[in-house]
């Protein structure tokens, strides 16, 4: 048996969240993030991704900090910061999601609560240093995130909704993890690694009753 075959993945259902495992206990100090997704009126799914200063596109995550009690806390905090609190403002019912806010903690809490209530799965990087949570969210136009007030911790330059089927196909067909693109968007290696490792499981999670979906662009 080849070494690569030693990596296995299973489904465990805990509080409605699908957990993808690769055999070892995870250090609570690993980095973590969130990959949001939504459906359009035709049932087509889209990932929300963001462009980093390094010009690669990725999920919304980062390094664990001392105040983070576990990877989920890191993921929720990083997602709130990198989406400029938009999900928090949306959950709080603000009319203008692009406006700046004075009480940042209130909207961080609202964002955390909103995302946490919508978590569907968590996937661990094959090398065990990163956890990525998948969250089913409501659609908010990408430009809202882009034009939202820039908090001091923001780390994304642009945002885009990309069709899951086409995006995952680009991942699957790539022969070079360092040069993987969806159209003109270069995909971060870390995101590539996770999506390629759990390709079928993630597609089955997002499209549980369908084997083939005609994807559209947004």
- Please give the CATH topology (third level) of the domain spanning 3-206: Nucleoside Triphosphate Pyrophosphohydrolase (3.90.79)
| Contact present, 162 and 182 (Cβ < 8 Å) | yes
The pLDDT of residue 151: 65
Q: 154 φ, ψ to 5°?
A: -65, 145
Tens digits of per-residue pLDDT, 121-130?
999 999 889 9
The pLDDT of residue 4: 41
Q: 164 φ, ψ to 5°?
A: -55, -50
Q: 92 φ, ψ to 5°?
A: -85, -10
- How far apart CA 56 and CA 64 sit, in angstroms, is 21
The pLDDT of residue 145: 94
List CB contacts of 54: < 8 A, sequence separation 6 or more: none
| Contact present, 99 and 84 (Cβ < 8 Å) | no
The pLDDT of residue 13: 37
The pLDDT of residue 2: 41
Give me the residue spans of the domains in the chain. Answer: 3-206
The pLDDT of residue 94: 85
**Cα separations in angstroms, 49 against 1, 56, 77, 116, 199:** 36, 10, 16, 18, 17
Tens digits of per-residue pLDDT, 11-52?
333 345 566 554 455 556 789 999 999 999 999 999 999 999
The pLDDT of residue 188: 96
CB-based burial label for 30 (10 Å; 0-12, 13-18, 19+) = middle
| Contact present, 71 and 131 (Cβ < 8 Å) | yes
For residue 187, give the 3-state DSSP assignment: strand
Q: 128 φ, ψ to 5°?
A: 70, 15
The pLDDT of residue 27: 58
The pLDDT of residue 98: 83
pTM: 0.85
Give every residue of the chain whose pLDDT is below 70, as ranges. Answer: 1-28, 151-154, 210-218
């Amino acid at each position: 048996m080849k070494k690569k075959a030693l990596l296995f993945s299973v489904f465990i259902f805990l509080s409605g969240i699908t957990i993808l495992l690769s055999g070892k206990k995870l250090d609570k100090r690993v980095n973590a993030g969130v990959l949001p997704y939504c459906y359009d009126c035709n049932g087509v799914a889209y990932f929300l991704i963001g462009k980093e200063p390094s010009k690669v596109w990725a999920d919304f995550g980062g390094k664990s900090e001392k105040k983070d009690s576990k990877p989920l806390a890191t993921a929720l905090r990083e997602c709130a910061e990198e989406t400029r609190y938009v999900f928090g403002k949306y959950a709080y019912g603000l009319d203008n999601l692009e406006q700046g806010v004075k009480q940042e903690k209130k909207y961080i809490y609202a964002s955390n609560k909103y995302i946490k209530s919508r978590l569907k799965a968590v996937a661990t990087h094959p090398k065990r240093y990163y956890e990525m949570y998948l969250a089913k969210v409501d659609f908010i136009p990408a430009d809202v995130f882009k034009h939202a007030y820039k908090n001091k911790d923001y780390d994304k330059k642009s945002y885009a909704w990309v069709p899951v089927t086409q995006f995952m196909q680009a991942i699957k067909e790539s022969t070079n993890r360092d040069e993987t693109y969806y159209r003109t968007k270069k995909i971060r290696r870390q995101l590539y690694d996770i999506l390629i490792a759990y390709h079928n499981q993630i597609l089955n999670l997002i499209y549980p009753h369908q084997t083939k979906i005609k994807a559209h662009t947004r």
